[in-house]
Amino acid sequence: MEHVDASTGTGGGALGLPAIDCVVIGVNAAATLGSCLESILAADYPRELLTVFYVDGGSDDQSLEIAGTFPGVRAIALSPEHPTPGLGRNGGWRAGSAPLVQFLDSDTILDPAWLRCGVAAMAEGVAAVLGYRREMHPELSVFNWIGSLEWNGRPGEAESFGGDVMIRREVLAGNDGYDEELVGGEDPELSRRIRLAGWRIRQLDVNMTLHDLAMTSVKQYWRRAYRSGYAFAAVVDRFGDDPTPFWRKEYRRILVRGGGFAGSVILALLLTLLVPVWPAVAVAVPTVLAIGFLLLFFPRLFRVGSFQEEKGISHEQARLYAWHCSLVVVPDILGVARFSLGKLLHRPLRNRQSRLATGRRDGDERRTAA
């Protein structure tokens, strides 16, 4: 185990352990913040080596008051016009001084053993470590269940991390921290810069956090997928000259299947409206639509068996997951289109505080941002 001192980066604190800054971000997080902070303070790690920051992105609920009820928790109130996760994470780690920073979203609960596991894995050349994020209530909705299938990668070297991760302060400082404009994809974007700088990221075979997605409506699902499509396009665009295939496979999937389906519908509509008397239209329109629907439903038609094997789920569950993989490219491609239009007009997608909340189950969008 490599031990890192808070001041020099080479020694050790109590029991040879390094100090850690825990940075929690949220907007309107009253429903979940208390449980998150409690889990950090209850962790199996010397309390004197932990400094906890809650960075609020402009809440109009009791989030800041809740943070204030926890002794030793430092609340940082931001009031940006357009909150983003990157703003909150940067505000938190820059306020601290510990050599390691543990980032958490306010809708998570930290596993009590994680901090020691993360510290033990911080070998030379490793910039960041992460464990498994487990969904708290996958049984409550199909959307929660899908999230539980997709949170985690395989143990070992990882391409990227998500919102829950332990990172070296020197790596954050040396790479200018998080992108403060992105409304999604800020974690993979930083991950890519870190790896391009020669650092490694490790996925550990241990639990790190429990997460409460609390997604119960199609509206929430649609918005999340729309932002995911936007994030794919934005991150791929930022690394256009990078020869490695980071996120390009996923991006091509959206373009081919989502774009192909949308294009086929538009083309069929144009043929019907512009040349309705052309006899060949009677054949062309169904053919074009058939190609589009084949692209859209490719996972449902051809990948059920592979999903069953890859995810370790039943055949019925694999069919349900295949429906998700088929339909999700529709809001994805709209997110891609929004990024392209925004880039052309110099108007990137922006968050609005009124539509940001953590822990609401009333159909509103849930997005942790600060």
Distance (Å, rounded) from C-alpha 32 to C-alpha 26? 10
Is residue 7 very low, low, confident or very high in pLDDT (cuts 50, 70, 90)?
very low
Tell me, yes or no, whether 370 lies in a domain. Answer: no
* Distant-in-sequence, close-in-space partners of 288: CB < 8 Å, separation ≥ 6: 264, 267, 268, 271
- Whether 137 shows a pLDDT value over 90: the answer reads yes
* Residue 83 lies inside a defined structural domain of this protein: yes
pLDDT, tens digit, for every residue of 19-57?
999 999 999 999 999 999 999 999 999 999 999 999 999
Q: What is the pLDDT of residues 103-124, one digit of tens each?
A: 999 999 999 999 999 999 999 9
Q: What is the mean pLDDT of residues 132-143?
A: 96
97 and 162 belong to one structural domain: yes
Q: In this structure, are 83 and 208 located in the same domain? A: yes
Statement to judge: residues 123 and 33 lie in one domain: yes
171 and 255 in a common domain: no
* Residue at 44 is within a domain: yes
| Mean pLDDT value across residues 196-205 | 96
Can you tell me the mean pLDDT for 238-264? 91
45 and 144, same domain (yes or no) = yes
* Residue 338: half-sphere exposure toward Cβ, Cα within 13 Å: 19
* pLDDT higher at 234 or 364: 234
Answer yes or no: is 229 within a domain.
Answer: no
Confidence of residue 365 (pLDDT cuts 50, 70, 90): very low
Is residue 240 situated within a structural domain?
Answer: no
Handedness of CA 281, 284, 287, 293 (dihedral sign): negative
Q: Which two tokens stand for residue 66?
A: 């809740």
Task: For residue 152, give the nearest of 166, 142, 140, 164 by alpha carbon.
Answer: 164
Q: Indicate if 181 and 308 belong to the same structural domain.
A: no
Residue 362 lies in a domain: no
Please report whether residue 294 resides in a domain: yes
Q: What pLDDT, on a 0 to 100 scale, did the predictor assign at position 276?
A: 65
- Quote the percentage of the chain above a pLDDT of 90: 81
Average pLDDT rounded to a whole number, residues 94-101: 98
Write down the pLDDT at residue 369: 34
Residue range 305-313: average pLDDT?
95
23: CATH: 3.90.550.10
Q: Are residues 272 and 316 in the same domain?
A: yes
Q: What is the mean pLDDT of residues 195-220?
A: 96
Parallel, antiparallel, or unpaired: how do β-strands 165-168 and 126-135 relate? antiparallel
pLDDT for 139 equals: 95
Least-confidence region, from 13-17, 93-97, 106-110: 13-17
Is the pLDDT at 146 greater than 60? The verdict is: yes
SS3 letters across the chain = CCCCCCCCCCCCCHHHCCCEEEEEEECCCCCCHHHHHHHHHCCCCCHHHEEEEEEECCCCCCHHHHHHCCCCEEEEECCCCCCCHHHHHHHHHCCCCCCEEEEEECCEEECCCHHHHHHHCCCCCEEEEEEEEEECCCCCCHHHHHHHHHCCCCCEECCCCCCCEEEEHHHHHHCCCCCCCCCCCHHHHHHHHHHHCCCEEEEEEEEEEEECCCCCCHHHHHHHHHHHHHHHHHHHHHCCCCCCCCCHHHHHHHHHHHHHHHHHHHHHHHHHHHCCCCCCHHHHHHHHHHHHHHHHCHHHHHCHHHHHHHHCCCHHHHHHHHHHHHHCHHHHHHHHHHHHHHHHHCCCCCCCHHHCCCCCCCCCCCCCCC
Give the per-residue pLDDT at 368: 35
- 49 and 129 fall within a common domain: yes
Judgement on whether residues 149 and 191 belong to the same structural domain of the protein: yes
pLDDT at 141 over 50: yes
Q: Please provide the average confidence, as pLDDT, over all residues in the chain.
A: 90
pLDDT category at 240 given cuts 50, 70, 90 is confident
Domain count, the chain: 2
- The answer to whether residues 203 and 268 belong to one domain is no
pTM equals 0.88
State mean pLDDT over 223-238: 95
What does the pLDDT average to over 194-222? 96
Q: Which range marks the domain in which residue 300 is found? A: 248-350
Task: Report pLDDT for 246.
Answer: 84
Query: Would residue 183 count as lying in a domain?
Result: yes
Verify that 26 and 108 share a domain, yes or no: yes
Are residues 148 and 36 part of one domain?
Answer: yes
